[in-house]
Amino acid sequence: MEYRARYIDGTLRLMTNDAPAIEPGEIVFVTIEHGRSGRTHKHQFAWLKDAWQNIPDDLMGMPWAETPETLRKHALIATGYHQTYTLDCAHEATARRVKAALVAAEAGKHGYAIGRVRGPVVTIWTPESQSTRAMGGKRFQESKTAIMDWIADKIGVTSEDLKNGRAA
């Protein structure tokens, strides 16, 4: 189980009313994951909107270019920030039906999903959540940089241009 904690006066204090069952003197392992600022979070959505507004005409028809959010989620998948699973459906026709149902269900749950059929096998990808609860500061920054690079390449600008609000 994962819990949030705050370091106060030399003590690491859990920020929950549902404290885990820990015996006095028991040794537990703690991973320190620093949070992230609201500023970096807001910055991502600002440059994403700017990038989306500057998608070249030949890419505007792509399913991932529909909104800034579909662009972000597709970029997360494309850059490895995703979950994936594979099902063997025994027959290609079955796999195509299963893919359609799973993509619809996963898109409903995650806001975006990609599916692929190869013979009888279906593979589904969903974007990793960038919520504060799901990603600490370091992983968020890594994913932000990765999707910025991917999107900059797609729209024909540099990552530095996106970072500084110069997507056009």
- Cα–Cα distance measured from residue 18 to residue 50, given in angstroms and rounded to the nearest whole number: 42
Over residues 50-55, the mean pLDDT reads: 92
Task: Answer whether residue 41 shows pLDDT above 70.
Answer: yes
In the three-class reduction of DSSP (H, G, I as helix; E, B as strand; rest coil), residue 15 is classed as: coil
Nearest CA-CA partner of 148 in 165, 131, 126:
165
Six-digit token pair at 82? 């995703």
Over residues 15-35, the mean pLDDT reads: 77
Residue 11: what pLDDT? Answer: 84
Six-digit token pair at 42? 């807001």
The backbone torsions φ and ψ at residue 87, rounded to the nearest 5 degrees and listed phi first, read: -125, 135
pLDDT digits (tens, 9 = 90+) for 133-162: 788 888 999 999 999 999 999 999 988 888
Task: Answer whether residue 34 shows pLDDT above 70.
Answer: no
In angstroms and rounded to an integer, the radius of gyration of the C-alpha atoms of the chain is 20
